[in-house]
């Protein structure tokens, strides 16, 4: 099997980047602007409708991002498995590091924001569960960062690409 051309990986990374940008813009619009229906009639023109429609793509963009990420990670797993270079331990260390290096600081920042801005910290259990990627499984996501559910999904989906080839290899 021939290696994939570098340009196709760049194109997939570009699509992933655009999906992440769409999610960011969707969150910014949702947190910064009123709903389209709340606009005065004089401001509901074509331009506003296009902007509001384009910034509602966040949910679909999350799915695109995860599917592309899974494809890229799963492809790496299959290539390493085929070449006899796949080691579950190395894979786990790599993936856990990539996720937790973002997840733990995001949870700590959300906890500090809860204390400073709202005057009520999350419970230690909720904070620790969120920091381990178990929010929406054993507890709710932190109030000051409810989009942490997406990192939980990323965490869970990260290990499925490794489990299937490994189980097929041992069969």
Does the CA dihedral 71-73-75-81 come out positive or negative? Answer: negative
Nearest C-alpha neighbor of 142 from the set 98, 112, 116, 101:
112
Comparing 7-11, 75-79, 104-108, which segment has the lowest mean pLDDT? 7-11
100-126 tens-digit pLDDT: 898 899 999 999 999 999 999 999 999
142-163 tens-digit pLDDT: 999 888 877 777 776 666 555 5
> What is the reported pLDDT for 148?
82
Confidence of residue 5 (pLDDT cuts 50, 70, 90): low
- Indicate whether this model's pTM tops 0.85: no
């Amino acid at each position: 099997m021939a290696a994939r051309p570098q340009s196709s990986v760049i194109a997939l990374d570009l699509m992933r980047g655009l999906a992440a940008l769409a999610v960011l813009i969707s969150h910014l619009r949702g947190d910064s602007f009123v709903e389209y229906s709340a606009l005065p009639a004089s401001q509901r023109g074509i331009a506003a409708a296009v902007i509001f429609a384009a910034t509602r793509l966040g949910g679909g963009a999350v799915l695109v991002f995860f599917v592309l990420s899974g494809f890229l990670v799963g492809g790496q797993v299959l290539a390493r498995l085929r070449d006899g270079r796949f080691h579950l331990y190395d894979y786990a260390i790599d993936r856990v590091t990539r996720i937790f290096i973002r997840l733990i600081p995001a949870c700590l920042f959300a906890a500090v924001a809860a204390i400073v801005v709202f005057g009520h910290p999350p419970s230690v259990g909720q904070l620790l569960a969120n920091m381990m990627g178990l929010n929406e499984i054993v507890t709710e996501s932190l109030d000051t960062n409810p989009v942490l559910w997406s990192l939980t999904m990323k965490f869970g989906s990260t290990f499925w690409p490794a489990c299937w080839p490994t189980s097929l290899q041992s069969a």
